[in-house]
Amino acid sequence: MQTAATKLSKEIKTLGLEQYTLELETDGITIVPPEVTGVTDKVLDRCTEVLLKRFTEMTGGCPISIKEGPKGELTWPEGTRSQLRDENEPPLPTQMLIQQLLQLDRCFRDLAVNPVVDALIDHAMGPISVLGGKARRLSSTNSFVKWQGDYGYGKYLGLHCDQGANPLPWGHTAMTANATWCLTDYTKEDGALAYVPGSHKLNAHPAQPAAAKQAVAAEAPRGSVLIFVGSTWHGAYPKLTPGLRLNCVSYYRHVSTLPQENLKFTMRDEPWEDCDNPEMMRELLGFDDKFPYEVQTQAVPQLTAAI
C-alpha cells in the first residue's frame, strides 16, 4: 500500500477520504458509511430484490426473505465436498455464494464504479509505474447469502488472506482488495466479517490460534461498505440470529496479474495437443485452472421440502 501521509490522490482529497485512507493504512480495513459513498436505499433495495429472486431460481424454488431466511429445507448436491473442514461431507447449508453479479442487474454495476470505493481501492494498489494509469481491475463480483447456523469456519473463524496464492514476500502494494457492501446490518451475532486489525503489515499468513484470539467483528449498518486489502487476515463469525446476512462483493486484482495473451481462450479451438508434451501444454494454458471462471462454480444447495 501507499503511505497515507505522502501519497494521497486528487480523488482522495476531493472526496474528503483522508480518514478512511488512514484507517486502511493502519488497520488494513476501513468501514465507509452510506452518507459518504452516496449509495441510496433505492439501490440497496434493488440489490436485495435481485439477489433474493436469484437465490430462489438457483435453489430450485426455495422462497427466502431477509427476516426469515430460506423458507425451505435445503441440501447440497450429491458429491459436494467441504472446503472448510477435513471431512468430505460439507456442513448443512447455511451459506451460498451467488457469482457473476455484473450480469444480473445495473445496481451491481453502479456499485462497482462508485467513486469513493474506487478512490480507496486505487490508493491501495497505486498506479502502473511503467505503463501509466491505474492498477486496479475487477476480479469478480459475488454475494454471500448467509443464514442462521455454523457454515463451518470453526473456532479459527476461517481466517485467511485473499492474496494468499501470491508468493511471499508481498510488499506494501495490495495485490488484491475487497469492497463488501452490507445489504443488511453487520453485527457479530449476525455473522459479521472477522478480521485482525493491523495484520496486513505482517505480510504473512495467519498464525493460529493466536490470530483467532485477536480477531474482532467488522460491525456496520446497512449500506456501509467494508474495504480491505488482500493481506488483511479475515474470516467470519457464525450467524446466531434468524434471517439473512446479505452482501454484494466487488473483488479487485492488481493489473500485474493479467496475462498478455488470453491463451485459455485463443488456444481453446486450436491444435494445442500437437506438441511433444500435451499434458504439460494443457497445464501451461490453464485449461483446468479454477480461475478465471466463466460460469457459477460454487455448489448451490437445492430445495428438498417446503416449510
pLDDT on residue 97: 94
Q: Which residue has the cell 480507496?
A: 120
The Cα–Cα gap between 95 and 239 comes to: 10
Amino acid identity for residue 118 in this structure = D
Q: Are 45 and 124 in contact (CB under 8 A)?
A: no
Q: Inter-axis angle of helices 115-125 and 18-27, to 10 degrees?
A: 40
How many angstroms separate the CA atoms of 266 and 276, rounded? 20
Going by the DSSP 8-state scheme, the letter that residue 257 receives in this structure is G
Total residue count of the chain as it appears in this document = 307
Residue 17: C-alpha distances to residues 27, 62, 200, 233, 270 (Å): 15, 41, 20, 23, 49
Say if CB 230 and CB 162 are below 8 A apart.
yes
Using CA atoms, how far residue 121 sits from 93, 112, 206, 243, in Å, is 32, 11, 23, 31
Domains belonging to the chain, first-starting first, are 10-254+300-306 (2.60.120.620)
- Rounded Cα gap, residues 73 and 75, in angstroms: 7
pLDDT of residue 244: 97
Residue 88's pLDDT is: 62
Q: Say how far apart CA 153 and CA 235 lie, in whole Å.
A: 8
pLDDT of residue 305: 72
pLDDT of residue 270: 82
Going residue by residue through the chain, which has 307 residues, state the pLDDT in tens, using 9 for 90 and above.
554 445 788 999 999 999 999 999 999 999 999 999 999 999 999 999 999 999 999 999 999 999 999 999 999 888 776 655 555 667 789 999 999 899 899 999 999 999 999 999 999 998 876 666 888 888 889 999 999 998 778 899 999 999 998 899 988 899 999 999 999 999 999 999 999 999 999 999 999 999 999 999 999 999 999 999 999 999 999 999 999 999 999 998 888 877 667 778 778 888 888 877 888 778 877 788 776 777 887 888 899 876 6
DSSP bridge partners of 134: 127
**What is the pLDDT at residue 264?**
80
